[in-house]
Chains A and B, each alone.
Chain A
Amino acid sequence: DVKVTQSSRYLVKRTGEKVFLECVQDMDHENMFWYRQDPGLGLRLIYFSYDVKMKEKGDIPEGYSVSREKKERFSLILESASTNQTSMYLCASSPAGNRNQPQHFGDGTRLSIL
């Protein structure tokens, strides 16, 4: 069965810390995505990657960066965490080529910045 694994379900960090959220997929998918989900705003795309070392900004990239050194792993980095980055973060992956493929989601990381 397909699997997208996020490293933590819950995470608490302090303002100003550098925070790493990790995502690993075992489906050999080319595309990987990072979203944040906030009440009333739905899922919003932060960054996505369509290949190793390739990345594109999504709708809300400010305050975030990403790293994709290996095909199976996509990391989201909060360079200097702030309280407005408290949110649910979801990783997803999908195969390349045919656009009409569903994305497979991880279970999410609920991040609190104090």
Chain B
Amino acid sequence: KNEVEQSPQNLTAQEGEFITINCSYSVGISALHWLQQHPGGGIVSLFMLSSGKKKHGRLIATINIQEKHSSLHITASHPRDSAVYICAVGEAAGNKLTFGGGTRVLVKP
């Protein structure tokens, strides 16, 4: 079973700062997902990647398959980015995901 570790668990930033969240996993995967959960519970998928880098607006996700590590970056952070960010890995065979514990991000104005 894959072990997924995220760091940090909590992060507080000032508006405009650059934020990095890290995710490492222990076993080969088919894809890595970054998810966002706002207060109230709903989860949305931000990225799914199996190599390289993806960018969407102010969000950038990278993955290094050899090192079994991924990062999520938020550039020019804004209070509306305050949420829990969750890393999840898809197993090499099958449709199940294994989730990290989440990183709670608070961006202060």
Selected from A9, A58, A102, the residue in CB contact (under 8 A) with B96 is A58
Cα–Cα, bound, A48→B100 (Å)? 19
Contact present for B97 and A103 (CB under 8 Å):
yes
Within 8 A of B (CB), among A73-114: 88, 90, 92, 94, 96, 99-108, 110
Query: Given A99-B90, A100-B50, are A31 and B95 neighbors across the interface (CB < 8 Å)?
Result: yes
CB within 8 Å for A100 and B100 given contacts A42-B86, A108-B41 = no
Partner among A88, A92, A99 whose Cβ is within 8 Å of the Cβ of B31: A99
The interface residues of chain A lying within 8 Å CB-to-CB of B96 are 33, 45, 48, 58
Closest to A92 in B: B43
Closest-by-CB residue of A relative to B34 is: A102
Given contacts A90-B43, A105-B44, contact A41 B101 (CB under 8 A): yes
Q: Are A42 and B41 in contact (CB under 8 A)?
A: no
User: B95 and A99: CB pair below 8 A?
Assistant: yes
Q: Which residues of B contact A (CB under 8 A)?
A: 30-31, 33, 35, 40-45, 48, 50, 86, 88, 90, 94-97, 99-102
Other contacts beyond A48-B96, A103-B33, A107-B41: 9, CB < 8 A: A31-B95, A45-B96, A58-B96, A99-B31, A99-B90, A100-B90, A102-B33, A102-B45, A103-B97
